[in-house]
Amino acid sequence: MTNRKATHIPGLDELINGGFPDGTINLITGPPGSAKSLFGIEYLYNGARFDDEPGIYLSLEESRESILRAASSYGLQFETFEKEGKAYLIDLGKMRVECSTSEELEWGLASFETLQDFLKNHLSFSGAKRLVLDSLTAVGVYYKSSELLRRELFKFSRFLRDANITTILISEVTGSGDSRYGIEEFIADSLIKLDYESATGEYRRTLTVKKMRFTKHDPLKHPFLIMDNGIEVSPDEVIG
């Protein structure tokens, strides 16, 4: 039987046979404000809280303070786990200043190579079992051609697999497509799409597991709510 990393997000694990298979790369996509970051925060926090598994949250978009503040508004107190060495919230903005190439510095960007160098040290030091990269979209803008991006993303994904860490890659996708660069959904082992709709006049958030390797999963579109303590998926409700 495959070992899995449960998300412990109410209603979700039962759709994906218990969680993300160990060592896999999982893509979370959705438009702005669709709760991608909240999903990543909960995945990491719950790993430390319920499974005693250390994790790293790498943020390229938001400052550490902003993530801590968002987490704390859902009652998730990261600092306790940080003190215990079970969670690392890392603002890559700071890291870029410390170890970027001049081009990265000039543009305020980070490449996969920079991320990899950073992770090489940090993964063994932290013993992390879970990783969130928020977001892939922000790394993508570093590359001038899609060819180069594909090649580097492929290399990065091989690095993650060799590291045997269970990763969430967050990607901003608007419209009907499944990915931003047309490649990440093939590299990833799973794809969960978050969305919202108001076509019926009623505003609804939705979650669809579009793909999951090594897993018999539920492929239907389910509504979810953001409650005071985070995401709550309705596994028995389906949106046709």
Helices (H), 58-200: 64-73, 78-83, 92-99, 102-107, 112-126, 136-140, 146-163, 184-187
Could you say which residues in the range 13-42 bind Mg ion, by CB under 5 A? 37
Q: Which two tokens stand for residue 197?
A: 């709709």
Site string for ligand ATP, 209-238 (x = CB under 6 A): -----------------x------------
Give burial (CB, 10 Å; 0-12/13-18/19+) of 140.
Answer: buried
Residues 166, 16 contacting (CB under 8 angstroms): no
34: partner contacted, choices ligand ATP, Mg ion, none (Cβ within 5-8 A by kind): ligand ATP
| Strand partners of residue 30 | 172
Nearer to ligand ATP, 205 or 221 (CB): 205
Nearer to Mg ion, 186 or 196 (CB): 196
State yes or no: residue 141 binds ligand ATP (CB under 6 A): no
State yes or no: residue 59 binds Mg ion (CB under 5 A): no
Nearer to ligand ATP, 34 or 157 (CB): 34
State yes or no: residue 34 binds ligand ATP (CB under 6 A): yes
Residues 169, 184 contacting (CB under 8 angstroms): yes
Q: Which residues bind Mg ion (CB under 5 A)?
A: 37
